[in-house]
Structures are given as C-alpha cells and as structure tokens.
Amino acid sequence: MKRVTASEYRRLVEQQPKAVRRAAAIALPSKRSKYGNVRTNGYASKMEAAYADALRESGAHWLEQVPLRLPGGVRYRVDFLVFCTDGTFEAVEVKGAVTDVGRIKILQARELYPWLALRVVRLKGGRWVEVDV
C-alpha cells in the first residue's frame, strides 16, 4: 500500500463524487500546527528544511528523524544524525524555541546517550548558532 501526503490525499478526494468528498473532509480536517511552523519540502519546519539545505551544500551525509528511547516508553526523535568526514557523528536538533518539554527530553537523551554529541541549533541572523539547553 502506497503512503500519500495530506495534499496528495486531498487531490485524490477532489476527483471523487460529492458524497465521498464530504466524508473525506470529516476524516481529514485542516489543522494548524501547534507552534505555527509550516511544512517545507517534507520537513517539519522551514528551519529544518534550511538546515538540510546547508548540509546538502556542505556535502555531508545524514539521517533524519532518528528515534532515541527515553524512560517511560517515550521515543525522542532527533532531527538529524550527521556523519562527519573524520568518522564521528553528532545528533542535531533544530529548534526555533526550546520548550520545557523539549528541554527535558534533550537533557534525558544527553544523560542516557553520553557517547552521542547532541547539539541544539537555530538560525539567527543568517547563521547557525548553538543554543544552550
């Protein structure tokens, strides 16, 4: 079964009879993001998309949305796992603003995975700066 995005789903529904369109509108309401971010090029925010572009331009290799297990059955997904040219790797979390819950998860991940360099960055004045958590 092929997975489709919300926009592809809406396009497919537009081609269906009116009764099906009505049922689909109930099943998939349009919803604004909790923090006002806008999905861009498949990324959760414009800032994540910009960071991926910066990685692409640098020629780096990376994985996206890498899950880390935290206590209580919680899975924390790091935005990028970047592989450096010297053979090391680091986890990078791109944040516009760090919430209390986000801060707790980042600190727990750093405690449980001390071998993993976990950086939090944001775009400020056209430059990527590291954020203290």
**Which tokens hold the place of 95?**
């944040």
pTM: 0.70
pLDDT score for 90? 94
pLDDT score for 27? 57
- pLDDT tens digit sequence for 17-59: 766 656 655 555 556 666 667 777 788 888 999 999 999 998 8
- What are the residues whose beta carbons fall under 8 Å from the beta carbon of 113, sequence distance 6 or more? 68
- DSSP class of residue 72? G
Q: Which domains does the chain have, with CATH numbers?
A: 1-31 (no CATH), 46-130 (3.40.1350.10)
* CA separation for the pair 38, 55 (Å, rounded): 20
pLDDT score for 107? 94
- DSSP class of residue 71? G
C-alpha R_g of the chain: 18
